[in-house]
Amino acid sequence: MLITAEMVRGMRPGSVIVDLAAEQGGNCELCRPGETVVENGVSIIGTVNLQSKVAVDASHMYSRNMEKLILHLLGDGALKIDLGEEITKGCVITHGGEVVHPRVSEIVTAKGAA
């Protein structure tokens, strides 16, 4: 047992424990395999076989992020590349035939000098 009931009660409300060992009884004393328990405002997630669900959730999260990025770049419906804007600046590698991403530019320059 890694997390006792007393430890959970000492945590701030809103804290979350994801017990990856829920299937074997859990590492948290208050874990109930297959359930999410809320004790004193602390959520204890006891999902069984969580590892098999991560890939699907990660894929959904990635697709949502890509959707938001595309909507951000489209702005009012037309593609808008504003390299002064933080999100766009961080994800655009080349623009107008030039390498515009600072880190990639450093790597390209260093490899060209070698």
pLDDT top residue among 13 and 102:
13
67 and 101 within one domain: yes
- Residue 55's pLDDT is 85
Same domain, 64 and 36: no
Same structural domain, 91 and 109: yes
- In the chain, the number of structural domains is 2
Domain boundary among 48, 65, 80: 48
Q: Which domain holds residue 86?
A: 53-113
Average pLDDT over residues 59-88: 90
| pLDDT, average across residues 82-99 | 91
Residue 113 pLDDT exceeds 70 = no
Residue 45 confidence class, pLDDT cut points 50, 70, 90 = very high
pLDDT exceeds 80 at position 72? yes
**33 neighbors 22 (Cβ within 8 angstroms):** yes
Q: pLDDT at position 114, please?
A: 59
How crowded is the C-beta side of 13, counted as CA atoms within 13 Å?
Answer: 2
Indicate whether 17 and 41 sit together in one domain. yes
Same domain for 57 and 72, yes or no, is yes
- Asked whether residue 29 falls in the same domain as residue 43, the answer is yes
Do 64 and 103 belong to one domain? Answer: yes
pLDDT, residue 50, reads 80
pTM: 0.50
Beta carbons of 32 and 46 less than 8 angstroms apart? yes
